[in-house]
Amino acid sequence: MALIYLFGASAPQMDDSLSSSAANTKMEPAREVFPAQSSNGAADGFLDENADRKDKAAVDERWSTFGVLLPDPWLVYSGNIVLAQEGDAGAQYEISRVLFECKAVTSQRLIDKYAAEGIFTEETAQDAQEQLDWCRELNDNIGSDLMRQSLDWLDAAAEQGHVLALGRQVAFAPYDYSPDEAKEVMMGVVRSGEPEMYAMMMSYYANYRDDEFVSYEAWSTLMCQNITGCEMEEYRRRNDLASLRPGEQAQVDAAVELIATALDANNWTPIADLL
């Protein structure tokens, strides 16, 4: 399982303050088109012409950069491209995110070379191989410049107000949004209830509130808790995050409880107050 530290941003540093004020704004959650993530983590909703590939897709799921389980990227792309071209924002977003996950896979030649030379650890080589295999059919069919295509589809979805597309834009290009605009987008992301919100909130704090160490760590913890098989210490090791001191851990634990309780109750005010 690869858990990627988001966008090269530095984690916020420890600060004693836990809260600041922000407007409690309202945005409508976006409609997810294909695939839909079911409660057990499997991908549902495949088109009839892909029925013979359902079993393959079930074993080809992979945890994404944003902490959600995605099926075979080519299946997602081919199942959404017509709707996306017709202007469906949900389909445009689904295509954007699988293109993003496959934008920079390591070639087989380099995986073998770096593993042989010790540049890749066994763990890194295995993860690179899994990503290459997972993305192979998409790359074979789509070709190069996946990042540009991903951003184009993301922009198209965001222009229609797709809440998760807007959240990714805040993560990718924070300086295109004012702090107040970013807060509004993030509250829309949280209200959507989609599991990508954890990574998006981490990115928000890294980009806009680097003084809010505790909130960043709380959303990071919640993200790990949402990922099957994630162990926090292993997560921190693989992402080069320093261990928390006991006093820091107590503050983070309190923030995790506050945020989790608010999410369960659909009580957005405590979350807005931390932005």
DSSP category for residue 120: S
Domain locations along the chain: 6-27+178-273, 36-153
* Residue bearing the bigger pLDDT, 38 or 245: 245
24 or 56, higher pLDDT: 56
Query: Of the candidates 204, 224, 176, which has an alpha carbon nearest to the alpha carbon of residue 272?
Result: 204
Chain mean position to CA 178: 21
Instruction: Answer whether residue 12 shows pLDDT above 60.
Output: no
- Name residue 236's amino acid: R
CA distance 104 to 82: 25
Q: Give the lowest-confidence range in 38-42, 69-73, 181-185, 234-238.
A: 38-42
Six-digit token string for 170: 């805040």
pTM of the model: 0.76
Per-residue model confidence (pLDDT) at position 224: 86
Pick the range with the lowest mean pLDDT from 16-30, 63-77, 216-230, 252-266.
16-30
List, in order, residues 6 or more apart from 97 with CB less than 8 Å away. Answer: 64, 66, 70, 150, 168
State the pLDDT at residue 48. Answer: 34
pLDDT of amino acid 11: 54
Query: What's the longest Cα–Cα distance across the chain?
Result: 56
On average, the pLDDT of the chain sits at 78
